[in-house]
Structure formats: C-alpha cells, structure tokens
Structure 1
C-alpha cells in the first residue's frame, strides 16, 4: 500500500497493511501495555516502515495526559563534562521511550528557574536538573506542581529533591594518595572562583588531606583559557607547584597547554591529576590521569529515580582513578 500524497498514514493504515487490529499496532508502538508475539510485532514494524508512519505525539499526549517528553536543564551546555552527561541522560531516557528537551542555564540561577517554568508550561513528564550553584531548589518547586524532578551531579544545600552524585571526597583522596606515592608532599589544588557544590566538597577534602603541608590553593574560572593564564603567570614567577590536582578537566587542559608553551615538562616537573574524566582527557599531551566521574551510571540512576518514583537517592557512586601519563606513571588506562 503506497502512502497517499499529502496525507500522513494513520494507525488504521498500519493495521490494515499488517493485517491486525489498531489495538495491536498501538501495543507495538507504545511497547505495551500488552505483549505482542514476535512475528506480529515484526509485521507491524514492517508495515509502519513501508508507510513511513510516525506516531502522533500530540494525540498520544491528549489521550494519556503525558507528553513523553522529559526536560533536562544543564548548568552549562558548552562545558564538555555537562555535554557528556547530557548525552548519557538522553540515552537513558530514550531507552524508556522518552524524548529529551534540553535547556542551557549558562551557570545562571535565574535562567535555571526560567527554564523550569518553561518546561512546566510545556507539560513535560519530568525534569532532570544539573544544578547551577547558588540557585533556588527548583526541583522541589517543580514537584509541588505535580511533576517529578531529580538532580544529577549537583544539588542545592538543604535541597529536598533526590540527587545522584559521584563520591567526590573519595576521588580526591585517591588523587592525593597517588601523587604521594610519586613522592609529592606539597600537592596544590586548583579550584574555581568560589567553593560550592562538588568543587567545594573536593576542595574541602583536599584541605583536610594536605593540612599543615603549606600546599597552595589556587583559583581561576572553569575554563582552559583562565587556567592557562594562571599557569603561565605562576611559571613566570617561579612559583608553579610540582604537583597539582585540578577540580575540572577544562582547567587541567589549560594547565597542560601553558606548561607546554613555557617548556615546563609534564610529568617530570609538574604532575597533574584531574577530577572529571571527560572524553577529552584521554587525548591531551600527555594524556591526563583522572578520577573518572561515572557519568553513564549517574544518568541511568537519575532516570530510574525520575521515572520509578523512588524518593531516596542512592549512595554516591565511585569515581575510579584512571592512570595515564600526566601523573608520572606509564599510561595504563586502568
């Protein structure tokens, strides 16, 4: 049966070509609520492909009072860490038959609240929030409107909504212990402009571990350019530490670039470990040793919390040490 020009094929058309009922076609397209025999399912899918049939999401929403769409608010879409996390969230939602609608807060708490309001107006089925520091507890506000919400990676202090996070304290302890194993006792930490959220927890753990050693706390924006400028300045002043833990990969990449530009050998004269583990970290020169944030597992757990209705967040997930070349080891990627 050929598709009629100018007319979108319907569920009835697919049922006619497949030789089955519209109810069975609906079960196949919606993955339930009733099972369909494998042979019948294949016949329905073949008919849908032949007709170029696309389910009408709006009609489905009117019938079920759900849109099949989940909103994702990112703290900053331009940061590769959040980009990688967003990809895993989208993949996890796709496995559950949900479409992802993404908004970029650009580290703005006001923008984050604005996006939450917009997503509520769009009648999303739920909201995943990668929290921007300093903002209101928008997830709790969203839940008061009857829409489930969950935080991932970060959450506001005293936030009431569940959050899926990595074990940042353990990640720092692993990095410190590893650099000490290379003989470093004065291990610096590069934080952001302010201490909040995961970076605040990372900094506090470092501070406890290095108390009394005189190890310097460094600060710059979470960008390659800012970290490169700071590193260049420290090298020029002769005050660059011999070992450094960076709060983010973006900063670490800037540090490596400046070290190379100023002919400071890594890891011979500067050992570096970063605490993110984004895909880019494997392709620096030398490749970064990292504590790898479990982004895929975090995304999967966040989606399970969101769609499963559980109230309690799971324990923080481990961020394993991935040894490459920047710390002084031979690269193993293990």
Structure 2
C-alpha cells in the first residue's frame, strides 16, 4: 500500500482521502465501508480498511441516511430495564437486528404513558427504520405511532393498533399449563400472584389460571395483586404466607414477582416446595438461580425476536408480514416439587 500522506486531520478524513491513500476510486471506498452494493476483492478491501484506519476515517452516517433514506437503526422500548426478561429479550432483538445490518437503540419507559410517547417521538424524529415496543401501557402512544410511516411491531401483547403487528405467546394457554402442572403434583388449593390490573398480559394469565382450576373442578384460591416487580412480589408473598387460608401452591404471573415471593416465604420460615409450591411465567435467566430454582413457563425469545425484526425488514420493503403467536414450554425445576436440576 502506498504511504502517501494527507492533510486531513484524524477523524475528519474524507472518502476521497481514503481513496487517494489506498489507490482506489471513491466508489470502491463506499463499497467497502457500506458493505456493498458491489463486491470488492479481498486484497483491495484490506488496502481500503488499512487506509481508513490510518486516517481515522469514519463514514458519515447522517449523510448516508439522507442519501439512502435509511438510518440502519431500530428503536426498542422496554418498560423495565431491571427485569431480566426484558433485558434478555433486548439482547435477542439486537442479535437479530445485527444479522440484518441494523443497530439497535434501547430505551426504558418506566411503564409511563408520557415517557412512551416521548420515546416514540424521539425515535421517529431520528428516522429510525423501525420500532419494537414492549409496552404495559401502550394505547395512545402506539395509536400515534400507527399514524406515522415508521414500521413497528408490538411484543408481548396485541393491543390492536392500526397498522401494527404483534409477536407474542399464548399467555392464557401457558398459564393454564403451569397451573395444571401444580394440579398434577396433587395441589387442590392454588393461589395466584398477579399484577394490579385486570388488563392485557396480566388478564390473559389470570384467565389461564381460572381455566385450569375450572377444568379440574377446583375452587379458585386467593388472589394477591401487586406491581410486576421484586418488591411487588415480596409484598404479595408476605400477604400470602400470613393469610389464614394460605394455599399450598401458587401460580405467579412473572418471574420478577416470584423472586419476591420466594424471599417472603424464606423470611416466614415456609419450606418450598413442601409447604408452598410455585410455578411462574417467563423462565428468565434469574429463575434458574433462585432457591429453590423456579419451575416456569418459557417463552421462545430468540424465535420471537427474529420474527419481529424480519417483519420490520419486510415492511420496509413493502412486503407482506403477519402477526405471530408462539407457544410456551414448561421448564421443570425444584420450586414445584420436581427433582432439582443443575444449572448449566
């Protein structure tokens, strides 16, 4: 490679500077730095990359987006960054996005309608190529988004936003299977720990709990409502163990709540699963490391993330895309009374 110098300052070099140093055309530099649209011989590609590194050249993403109409960015809204289920899902979406040539911007809404609306406006003003929403409150913000031309998909539930696609699991069927598993262990009094509102995902999981009990001819156990958080689960768990009619088993609508329930049971001296068996929903990473480890309904996160990103790609190309509903899988661990498993 030639060692010709340039007057451009590091970090401010132009494509022409790189082309001159590498002995190629500016078009070839563009093909290398933008991964296409035409292929470049390996030796030439190496020469261009070495020249770019020597000059500190970085392609101007803003200028490129103005020219192509694409930013190669996706936006993702999650309600709670401390919930490992959402963190795991964000990683899966990022992996799928990178495979399609996109970077991912992740923002935390704190389950606030106002914050969600702000994030939607921020993402669309930055002209992201698509938005993935995990919303516990999305109604007005998603409806507003539906009026834009930005492709978007909903994760977790389908709130029926015009123009929106949903990628979710069958929460009702998953909850029913989880409760049925507790019934198979011989429990006849099964309580429920769930969110404070009978809406959306929480409602579907509550109905699944009711379905399983009705099918088995069992009366509904007590319901303990609390926030979808560790603190909420701890509050619900304390109410459960202090109840005069405490059930022998409980279905918990989320792993993050179940973590709090387990702490409350330990502090009260309640032996699990002998005195209180637990099945939860999500099978997030932390569920394998609670004590006892949580039996839980697992969502196919990687498959869901891949399908959601693929849908955005198709929508950007004006190709048809459809919503999808996935099935959950029961992961058996010690909290329900199944033999303990060793974490991998």
Q: TM-score, normalised by structure 2?
A: 0.88
- Judging changes above 3 Å, is the alpha-carbon distance between structure 1 residues 50 and 297 closer, same or farther for their aligned structure 2 residues? farther
Partner of 2:210: 207
Partner of 2:336: 327
User: Is 2:13–2:57's contact at 8 Å kept on the other side of the alignment?
Assistant: yes
CA deviations on 1:68-95 (whole Å, 9 max, x unpaired) are: 2222122233322222222222222222
Of 150, 153, 159, which aligns to 1:150? 153
User: Is 1:29–1:55's contact at 8 Å kept on the other side of the alignment?
Assistant: yes
CA deviations on 1:119-143 (whole Å, 9 max, x unpaired) are: 22222222111123352262x5434
User: Is 1:69–1:101's contact at 8 Å kept on the other side of the alignment?
Assistant: yes
1:57-206 aligned within 5 A: 57-133=61-137, 135-136=139-140, 138=142, 141-157=144-160, 159-206=162-209
**Unpaired segments ≥5 residues, structure 1:** none
Matched residues in 1 for 2:246 and 2:21: separation?
72
Displacement of 1:253 in angstroms is: 0.3
1:248-327 aligned within 5 A: 248-309=254-315, 310-327=319-336
User: Is 1:192–1:199's contact at 8 Å kept on the other side of the alignment?
Assistant: yes
CA deviations on 1:250-308 (whole Å, 9 max, x unpaired) are: 11000111111111111111111111111111111111111112222222111111121
Displacement of 1:45 in angstroms is: 3.4
- Judging changes above 3 Å, is the alpha-carbon distance between structure 1 residues 183 and 46 closer, same or farther for their aligned structure 2 residues? farther
Say if 2:33 is the partner of 1:33.
no
Displacement of 1:10 in angstroms is: 2.6
Matched residues in 2 for 1:50 and 1:324: separation?
54
- Judging changes above 3 Å, is the alpha-carbon distance between structure 1 residues 179 and 12 closer, same or farther for their aligned structure 2 residues? same
User: Is 2:169–2:327's contact at 8 Å kept on the other side of the alignment?
Assistant: yes
Matched residues in 2 for 1:321 and 1:17: separation?
59
Matched residues in 2 for 1:91 and 1:148: separation?
19
Displacement of 1:13 in angstroms is: 3.3
Matched residues in 1 for 2:171 and 2:41: separation?
47
Q: How many residues align?
A: 333
Displacement of 1:204 in angstroms is: 1.0
Matched residues in 1 for 2:11 and 2:308: separation?
40
1:2-41 aligned within 5 A: 5-6=9-10, 8-41=12-45
User: Is 2:194–2:224's contact at 8 Å kept on the other side of the alignment?
Assistant: yes
Matched residues in 2 for 1:145 and 1:234: separation?
46
Displacement of 1:50 in angstroms is: 4.0
User: Is 1:133–1:156's contact at 8 Å kept on the other side of the alignment?
Assistant: no
**Unpaired segments ≥5 residues, structure 2:** none
RMSD of aligned residue pairs (Cα, Å): 2.4
Q: TM-score, normalised by structure 1?
A: 0.90
